[in-house]
Amino acid sequence: MLIAVLTISLTSVMLPAALASSEGTAAQGEAGTAVVVVPVKQTVERGLESFLERAFKEAQEAKAEHIVLVVNTLGGRVDSASEIGELIRTSPIPTTAFVEGKAVSAGTYIALNANHIAMQPGSTIGAAAVVNGSGTLIEDPKTISFWVGQMTEAAKLNGRDPNIAAAMVDKSVAVDMTETIGREKKAGDILSLSASEAEKVGYSELTANSVDDVVKWLGLDNRTVIEIKPSLAEEAARFLINPVVSTILLILGIAGVAIELLVPGFGAPGIIGILCFGLFFFGSYVSGLAGMESMALFIIGIILMIIEVFVPSFGILGLLGSASLIAAVVMSAPDPKTGFISLGVAVAAAAVIIALFARTNKGRGIWNKFILRDKLGTEEGFLSADVQNSLVGEHGIALTTLRPSGTAQIGDKRVDVVTTGEFIDSGKPVVVTKAEGTWVVVKEVKHEN
């Protein structure tokens, strides 16, 4: 039942996204010659890359004459920016980047790959230094050199000054722009240009108030304008692939499924776990990070783990199942490093949750099958070593013939006893002479006439 529900859950979240995408494409395919407007107003990451791939594909199917990218982003991942840049460069449809607010870092690179750049008054472009996830400037020469190369090549595509692009990345680069904008970029600073400055140095060709002004400047104001926006599924996927959110989903998914396997009955933990895993793979699938092979590996891993619980295989099935689960998660992450980090944090946090749950549910779960809970107490007829030692010197009656072992009544207790070798008939009086470990030694009490 667990696997059936898991499969249905994952399929149900994948199918609507695929259908929504195909329906959107069909609708745009009937538009004819048009100008397609695409917003680039989010962090540059794999989700944006996937959305732009869909948008450019729909623009081609709609026989669009031009694509206007409305850029307002603070940047993001360098690798995603590189892929988006290639998408723009290789597109058969001419592209204009309209900077509506900020085109910072990776956003600058995206704009530079467009055939034209237009900027809104008050907008800025530049500040493309490479930073890590916490916003700290990366000083690694190799990384800086790579990104400078990417930026300068993008600038050269449409005759823009590559030195200005380099100054936007490398703080050691100095550029004298006193003749054009009345200032120079000194070493130690990162260059950023306003709309008017960008137009003066040739990085922008137009200062416009709106997309309509850009379309009119392009001479396409008599064309149908089609705006392609991220779908609800893509917006949800963007949220779900956030590293913090995806890690939380993994924690709840691992903990929920593990608790469900350990506690009899299909209940809330299993449902929550499956839904969290479903959302995790849904976000990765819609964002283009994962394919059906990741989901297949995940289901195989769960099956192997379940079999290992009920059919011990000396850990072989458990290891194979764990490897499948790890591979599925890593393949669904933006990169292997991020995947391993998220998975490591999730496993550690889930282990704490599972331990707390197990502690508060001691009387339930399959682990109780492996724990001896029967008490060998006095009420069940068993005597502790301390109680046996206290019997030394006590008198009693042999209840069975002692040959040389048997049972005697010592006080109000029935005790297994042994003699030193002699036989004692039942009913004879005895006295305890020694108690060692589990041995209670007695001898017959003979009355003298």
State the pLDDT at residue 18.
42
Given 301, 324, 359, the domain boundary residue is 359
Q: What are phi and psi of 110, to 5 degrees?
A: -60, -45
Query: Same domain for 137 and 251?
Result: no
pLDDT at 17: 44
Cβ atoms of 168 and 75 closer than 8 Å:
no
Owner of token pair 């379940």: 306
pLDDT at 27: 36
In a domain, 392, yes or no: yes
pLDDT of residue 25: 36
Question: For residue 283, how far is the Cα from the chain centroid?
Answer: 10
| Structure-token match 């936007």, residue found | 168
Contact in structure between 282 and 334 (CB atoms under 8 Å): no
Whether the model clears a pTM of 0.75, i.e. scores above it, the answer is no
- Residue 389 CA, chain-centre distance (Å), reads 61
First to last CA, the chain: 82
Residues 72 and 87 in one domain: yes
Residue the block writes with tokens 């998660």? 329
Given 194, 213, 230, the domain boundary residue is 230
Distance, in Å, from the CA atom of 256 to the CA atom of 302, rounded to the nearest integer, reads: 12
**Contact between 333 and 77 (Cβ < 8 Å):** no
**pLDDT value at residue 162:** 93
Cα–Cα distance measured from residue 41 to residue 34, given in angstroms and rounded to the nearest whole number = 22
* Cβ contacts of 364 within 8 Å, gap of 6 or more: 263, 264
pLDDT at 64: 93
Half-sphere exposure of 117 (CA within 13 A, CB side): 36
Do 52 and 139 belong together in one domain?
yes
Residues 97 and 77 in one domain: yes
CATH number of the domain enclosing 421: 2.40.50.140
146 and 287 in a single domain? The answer is no
Q: Indicate the angle between helix axes 2-28 and 292-310, nearest 10 degrees.
A: 170
Angle between helices 232-240 and 46-61 (to 10 degrees): 160
Residue matched to tokens 């590189």: 82
- Which of 349, 371, 269, 257 shows the shortest CA–CA distance to 304? 257
Are both 210 and 283 inside the same structural domain?
Answer: no
- Phi, psi angles (nearest 5°) of residue 444: -75, 140
262 and 174 share a domain? no
Total domains in the chain come to 3
CA atoms within a 13 Å half-sphere pointing along the CA-CB vector of 333: 23
pLDDT for res 305: 74
Return the exposure string of 71-96: e unless at least 16 CB atoms fall within 10 Å of the residue's CB, then b.
Answer: bbbebbbbebbbbbbebbeebebebb
- The whole-number pLDDT of residue 160 equals 93
CA atoms within 13 A on the CB side of 134: 2
SS3 of residue 402 by DSSP: strand
Alpha carbon distance 274, 135 (integer Å): 34
Number of H helices, E strands in the chain: 15, 15
Burial class (CB in 10 A: 0-12, 13-18, 19+), 443: middle
Both 304 and 172 in one domain: the answer is no
Indicate if 67 and 147 belong to the same structural domain: yes
pLDDT in tens, the chain (449 residues): 444 444 444 444 444 444 344 333 333 333 348 999 999 998 888 888 889 999 999 999 989 999 999 999 988 888 889 999 999 999 999 999 999 989 888 999 999 999 999 999 999 999 888 776 656 777 778 888 889 999 999 999 989 999 999 999 998 899 989 888 988 888 888 999 999 999 999 999 999 999 999 999 999 988 999 999 988 887 887 788 777 888 888 888 888 877 777 765 556 777 888 888 888 888 777 776 666 777 788 888 778 877 876 776 677 877 887 788 788 888 877 677 777 888 888 888 888 888 887 777 665 554 444 444 555 455 555 555 555 677 888 889 999 998 888 999 988 888 888 998 888 889 999 998 888 777 889 899 887 54
231: region left, alpha or beta (phi > 0 left; psi from -120 to 50 alpha): beta
Residues 245 and 308 in one domain: yes
Within-domain flag for 173: yes
CATH number of the domain where residue 88 is located: 3.90.226.10
**pLDDT value at residue 265:** 55
Q: Residue 395: name the closest of 443, 331, 439, 349 by CA.
A: 443
Which residue is it, tokens 């995947």? Answer: 339
CA atoms within 13 A on the CB side of 260: 22
Residue 17 token pair: 């996204």
Longest dimension (CA), the chain: 138
Residue among 279, 244, 253 at smallest CA distance from 353? 253
Residue 149 lies in a domain: yes
Determine the Cα angle at 357 with ends 302 and 279, to 5°.
45
Residues 391 and 269 in one domain: no
- The encoded tokens of residue 7 equal 């499969």
Contact criterion met (CB below 8 Å) for 301 and 324 = yes
Same domain, 44 and 180: yes
Domain of residue 431, residue span: 386-444
Backbone angles phi, psi at 417, to 5 degrees: -130, 170
